[in-house]
A and B are shown apart, each in its own frame.
Chain A
Amino acid sequence: MTKKYDTPLLDELEKGPFPSFVTEMKKAAAKNPMAADELGLLEKSFRDKVTYWKHGGIVGVRGYGGGVIGRYCELADQFPGVAHFHTVRINQPAGLFYTSEAIRFICDVWDRYGSGLTNFHGSTGDIILLGTITDNLEPLATIFSLNGFDLGGSGSAMRTPSCCVGPARCEWAMIDTLDITYDLTQEFQDELHRPSFPYKFKIKTVGCPVDCNAAIARADLSIIGTWKGPIEIDQDRVRDYAKKGVNIQEEIVNLCPGKCITWDGNNLKIDDSDCLHCMHCITKLSGALKPTPPFGATILIGSKAPFVIGATLSWVIFPFMEMKPPYQEIKDFIRKATEWWSEYGKNRERIGELILRLGMREFLETVGLKPTPEMVKEPRRDPFWFWKEGDLEGKPWESWLK
């Protein structure tokens, strides 16, 4: 296909040392009229400094309430190839592992039924296929389904759960992030495909507190692998690091947030009772320090970037939960939490916002948890414990005084 549009502004984005999405779009445009019109429309948007997309709507696949995001172009006469340009979300494999055969399959299907443009992956984790027409949605979903893939989540629903590579590639994985993600995806199929929540609900699972997927900042429910045992120390390897130029005092001891490490120039000591499990020392002295069992996860709730009050990290709910199949405890908790949120949440209110609005105390009562010190986000901020008349009748202080 010959070049359809001049794109002087987009061409600027091909200069420099980095890979350019414009170069990739041009490759797609050479063989796909939808991609060619998308390139022309983007140039026009850059020139006019406005978008010409209409977003949202009602297209989808029968029986599914998510997985397709309707997009239409305001300039359909000028750019007919992108009159409809719907996005399709496909549930990614846990940990983003593919065979090259699977990726070829996805790309071949998309070249045939869509623009050929993809986004591996969206910020939730799905495979994002950019640009198709309404009539192609049903055949696409059928073809993917017959080949072991399913649509991902969108709208006011549970979004496709995602995770880090976990034990498949990482020495620090303390939980099987891949199995947990797969299991939760299967368990919550209805919540994923049939939007019934006030707004989106994201679950991200990471194998250790390094949190490569930033679950603590990006998920309504963050499952973060952690450990309970002492940190095992190989003193010879610590000395070896020191010999090779690592300043143990400056780079390890002084940066420990729990102030629980000491170094006398020969031996490293850790007071595990004061360890905050940040993993700074373990990652800096890789191989010399090692977390030990029991392993499990810290469960946090409620993070989101653009809250009314600003970006919010998620909040500890379970300091330590064993994460063993069939993961019943976390599943029960998710059901209780989302039922409460569906009952009281306003439209477009995330669960973390509802907790801020109605109070953590009410949330804890609903999910049947007692307040613990680990739940306190900031000192002097979180008075979860209010006496009720019934509590006082039992005179609880008498047992404490004993």
Chain B
Amino acid sequence: MDREELKKQIYTLIEQAQGKKKYKQMDVIKHFRNLGVPDSETKEAIRELVDGGKLIYTYMGGSYIELASKLEKFEKDIFK
């Protein structure tokens, strides 16, 4: 799988899991390992998505990877 396709699939995985499951970095790596993607490639793709501002690390009793668009909504909700 090429890097761009992998990034797209990681993003989709996180997007579709919203509200249902939170993914830690290792969960994402294991998910793609089962699809035959080497751990180092998944890790690098996550890094690019985070550096590019599409995904962020969140802390909810543990560190997770979530959509960056969640930040704005989070700050609005928290003051309700």
Q: Please give, as numbers and ranges, the residues of chain A lying within 8 Å of B43 by CB-CB distance.
A: 196
Contact B74 A65 (CB under 8 A): no
- B71 in contact with A58 (CB, 8 Å): yes
Cβ–Cβ contact A65 & B62, under 8 A: no
The answer to whether B50 touches A63, judged by C-beta atoms less than 8 angstroms apart, is yes
Contact in complex: B57, A65 (CB < 8 Å) = yes
Task: Name the one of B24, B47, B70 contacting A156, with C-beta atoms under 8 angstroms.
Answer: B24
- Is A57 a contact partner of B57 (Cβ separation < 8 A)? no
* Cβ–Cβ contact A196 & B78, under 8 A: no
Q: Which residues on A sit within 8 Å (CB–CB) of B75?
A: 59, 134
B74/A196 in contact, CB under 8 A: no
Query: Shortest CB–CB separation between residue B8 and chain A, in angstroms?
Result: 20
- Tell me if A284 counts as interface (CB < 8 A to partner B): no
**Given known contacts A58-B66, A58-B70, A195 and B79 CB-to-CB distance under 8 angstroms:** no
Answer whether residue B26 sits at the interface, using C-beta atoms and an 8 A cutoff. yes
**Among candidates A58, A154, A195, A198, residue contacting B74 with C-beta atoms closer than 8 Å:** A58
Instruction: Kindly state whether residue A323 has any CB partner on chain B within 8 Å.
Output: no
Residues of chain A within 8 A of B57, CB atoms compared:
58, 60, 64-66, 155, 194-195
Instruction: Give CA–CA (A62, B47) in the complex, Å.
Output: 11
Residue-wise interface mask of B (33-55) relative to A, using a CB-CB cutoff of 8 A (1 in contact, 0 not) = 00000000001001100110100
A57/B59 in contact, CB under 8 A = yes
A166-174, A266-274, A340-348, A353-361: which lies at the interface: A340-348
A26 to B10, CA, bound (A): 49
Which residues from chain A contact B70 at a C-beta distance below 8 Å?
58
A157 at the interface (CB under 8 A from B): yes
Query: Which B residues lie within 8 Å of A72 (CB)?
Result: 78-79
B18 to chain A, nearest CB (A): 13
Within 8 A of B (CB), among A53-104: 54, 56-60, 62-66, 69-70, 72, 76, 83
Q: Which residues of B contact A (CB under 8 A)?
A: 24-26, 43, 46-47, 50-51, 53, 56-63, 66, 70-71, 74-75, 78-79
Q: A155-B62, A196-B24, A198-B24 are in contact. List 7 more A-B contacts (CB 8 A).
A: A57-B59, A58-B57, A65-B63, A69-B59, A134-B75, A156-B62, A199-B62
Show 18 A/B contacts (Cβ-Cβ < 8 Å), sorted by A: A57-B59, A59-B75, A60-B57, A66-B57, A69-B59, A76-B79, A156-B24, A194-B25, A194-B46, A195-B25, A195-B57, A196-B26, A196-B63, A198-B26, A199-B62, A343-B26, A347-B62, A348-B61
Residues of chain A at the chain B interface (Cβ within 8 Å): 54, 56-60, 62-66, 69-70, 72, 76, 83, 134, 154-157, 194-199, 342-343, 347-348
